[in-house]
Amino acid sequence: MSSSPPIEARKPPLSRLASCGGCAAKMAPGDLQRMVKGLPARAPSPALLVGTETGDDAAVYRLDDHQALVVTTDFITPVCDDPYLYGQVAAANALSDVFAMGGRPLVAVAVCAFPEALDPDDAAAICAGGADKAAEAGAVVAGGHTVRSPELFYGLAVTGHVHPDRVVRNVGARPGDALVLTKPLGTGVLINGFRSGRLEADALAAACRLIAKLNDRAARLMLAHDAHAATDVTGFGLAGHALGMARGSGVALRFFPERFPTYDGVLPLIEAGVRSKGGTTNRQTFEAHVQITGAEPNARELLVYDPQTSGGLLVALPAANATAFLSALHEEGMTAAAQIGEVVAEGGSDRRLQLA
């Protein structure tokens, strides 16, 4: 019997199988816009209730008066070195786009780009994490597709359903609405803090268990509290996703950075200079649309650019419903949920995001 090599030699840590962590690996927003604009125009299908017009979280396709499909895909590079936890975070992140539309996920297929160096047991654990998370969301992973790739990616293509009259879009916010965020910010900083050796694996794993929390209950509660608009905050950061909401709704959004909920350890990491590639790209892209009071954004203000993986829902709802919505979120375990801003009338410029 030959002795097997030490586990470290056999198994490269997952984070070494990608050049960038989680949703920070997303294509730059400017490049994405150019690509989508370059697509040939097609006659719109009357059944397509939501397409690419406002950069919404998922497509919505009407089947009849009572049923519409919600269709989306999302796959990400590793957020941590624990394969099962990575699978859970990736699946929660993909399922979230269905919840952000007010829908329920039904069935998913896995999207797997796996390097040769990935240990088969780790590959199995990633897929098990994803399947378990889908089951928790009431959905089933029914298959998938794998390719060999120099970079590790895993995620889901998810199909869900929604009543055609109950779709919550990323547009429709009205001046006077409250803005509630249901999960903390800072996943990009945490993941990069770990990758650069400034955050312990245990601390990241603890955060990842929170990051892997589903947005299912937040979605159900936003419907019960008459949400006007919602989106999940992911790779383009709060700034990018909020800008989509502001533009599409014809409004401006005022945020109170002091109220931003953050994961443990995020602010010290920012103060120590930890950034992410995605955060830098987001800042370059969206800075011109953000109004701040000081000359340079402080640590909390910088969080608006941080790319989120499996981030919370940003919900615009009538201000009169905000307190009840927040208590319900807190009661159901989303203890970090906070009212982080308000919707105001647009001021005639494209600086639609104000940090008060």
Binding-residue total with Co ion (CB under 5 A): 5
CB 125 within 8 A of CB 57: no
Closest residue to bound Co ion by CB = 57
Q: Please identify which residue in 17, 57, 253, 322 interacts with Co ion, judged by CB under 5 A.
A: 57
Q: Of 31-39, 74-82, 322-330, 332-340, which part binds Co ion (CB under 5 A)?
A: 74-82
DSSP, collapsed to helix, strand or coil, labels residue 274 as: coil
Catalytic residue among 23, 80, 127, 208: 23
DSSP 293-356: SSSS--HHHHGGGPPPSS--EEEEE-HHHHHHHHHHHHHTT-TT-EEEEEEEE--SSS--EEE-
Rank residues 231 and 270 by Cβ distance to Co ion and give the closer one. Answer: 231
Spell out the residues 6+ positions from residue 151 whose beta carbon is closer than 8 angstroms to its own. Answer: 17, 18, 19, 25, 77, 113, 115
CA distance 146 to 290: 40
Min dist CB 93 to Co ion, Å, is 7
Rank residues 232 and 301 by Cβ distance to Co ion and give the closer one. Answer: 232
122 binds Co ion (CB under 5 A): no
Q: Of 90-98, 103-111, 285-293, 333-341, which part binds Co ion (CB under 5 A)?
A: 90-98
Spell out the residues 6+ positions from residue 144 whose beta carbon is closer than 8 angstroms to its own. Answer: 109, 110, 111, 112, 127
> Quick one: tokens of 336?
């970090």
Rank residues 22 and 261 by Cβ distance to Co ion and give the closer one. Answer: 22
CA distance 153 to 164: 32
Min dist CB 215 to Co ion, Å, is 10
Q: Is 23 annotated in the active site?
A: yes
- Rg (alpha carbons) of the chain, rounded to whole number: 20
Min dist CB 231 to Co ion, Å, is 6
56 binds Co ion (CB under 5 A): no
- Nearest to 150, CA basis, from 19, 310, 37: 19
Rank residues 97 and 177 by Cβ distance to Co ion and give the closer one. Answer: 97
Number of H helices, E strands in the chain: 12, 13
Min dist CB 354 to Co ion, Å, is 23
Please state whether 60 falls in left (phi above 0), alpha (psi between -120 and 50) or beta: beta
Rank residues 112 and 230 by Cβ distance to Co ion and give the closer one. Answer: 230
Q: Please identify which residue in 79, 84, 85, 97 interacts with Co ion, judged by CB under 5 A.
A: 97
74 binds Co ion (CB under 5 A): yes
232 binds Co ion (CB under 5 A): yes
CB 234 within 8 A of CB 25: no
Q: Of 112-120, 173-181, 224-232, 316-324, which part binds Co ion (CB under 5 A)?
A: 224-232
Binding site for Co ion (CB under 5 A): 57, 74, 97, 232, 234
The residues carrying an active-site annotation are 23
